[in-house]
Chain A
């Protein structure tokens, strides 16, 4: 494949990945890495390096817009990212010490349960009015946004902050130990445990994934995994796609975002169980 054709193909693929990532609060690696490796024949290391760039580009593009419109909550993002990054640091130190296959299996089962709860919540547009969580009040883990679809102001406050914080630490820990992205886990923790509106969960995840990716980008860079001619079209496409995704997401229902998110959780659960059982799919 010539470089021109390759660059254009990757550019257009990345626009799609950026749009999906911006809507679902994911970095795009879950889509980009398989496409780059299977369809374009890119080495897995270069694909992972391009993926980390895609996470940061998605985050910059999407969070810039979401913070302006109030969908992304800066305080909740900063508060929770402390747990995620510290978890990732501990996870990186524990990598190789703890048996990863058992962890993958446990994670797969936990995700299967999350998929089940996501199905149960499919029709919930907004969480019920929350009881006051002392930590949420103390740390101002609340906010308001104007919902374009519902055509009204939505007021929300985080619940079960301790559980949410611990889940974020766990997400970071697994991310550091298993080398997987944790955007989906962040969304699940905010949506299911902390009972934030689904759109706030994905938008805030978009802000957080940029910070956690920035923390690990230097590792990929110094390893030589970031190939400019692969990462450059990815970055351009993903940023453009992220802007597109934010426009679409603002007009979606929370229930629609959750329905779009469900297949991602199911896919992650199955892939973790398969890895945990030591099976290799073709």
Chain B
């Protein structure tokens, strides 16, 4: 019975992180779009839907440094803020697994703590390989 309660608490924790991570990410995306609208972006801009072989249009960020650069600029780049929201959304599943690792460990389930660690290592390896290829 205590095992069942412990399992539920880890699932509850992961559920909360996915929920709040998702809502936070979407909140930041929305804030960026509101600022973009306030700057007249939606009035003047006609979206280019074609991907060019060289160079990226406004709204395409390829590194976190570009995003932080846009956030640091004055006035702030509202699309960088929305991109930050997308980044928050993208890392949320990994954060949830990272939180599950100590939670499993604390509830005495070392086996699933190890499995969570393996999954995290695989996610890190994927990100590293992606970075090295592109």
Contact = CB atoms under 8 A, between A and B. Distances in A.
A44 B131 CA distance: 22
B33 A56 contact: no
A235 B86 contact: yes
A232 B86 contact: yes
Interface residues of B, number: 62
B130 A218 contact: yes
Interface string A131-149: 0000000011000000000
B51 A211 contact: no
B45 to A, nearest CB: 5
A249 B68 CA distance: 39
Contact of B134 (A211, A219, A230, A231): A219
Contacts of A227: 57, 59-60
A2 B37 CA distance: 13
A231 B131 contact: no
Interface in B73-106: 79, 82-83, 85-86, 89-94, 97, 100
Nearest to A217: B90
Contact of A211 (B49, B97, B133): B97
Contact of B119 (A2, A68, A211, A228): A211
Classify the secondary structure of A's interface with B.
Answer: helix
Interface of A: 1-4, 6-7, 40-43, 45-46, 53, 56-57, 59-61, 63-65, 67-68, 70, 74-75, 78-79, 81-82, 85-86, 88-89, 92, 139-140, 210-211, 213-219, 221-232, 235-236, 239
Nearest 3 Cβ contacts at the A-B interface: A60-B22, A64-B19, A215-B126
Interface of B: 7, 10-12, 14-16, 18-19, 21-23, 25-26, 29-30, 32-33, 41-42, 45-47, 49-51, 56-57, 59-63, 79, 82-83, 85-86, 89-94, 97, 100, 111-112, 115-116, 118-119, 122-123, 125-127, 129-131, 133-134
Given A59-B18, A222-B63, 15 more contacts: A3-B42, A42-B49, A43-B49, A60-B22, A78-B119, A85-B123, A86-B122, A140-B7, A214-B93, A216-B126, A216-B130, A226-B60, A228-B79, A228-B82, A236-B26
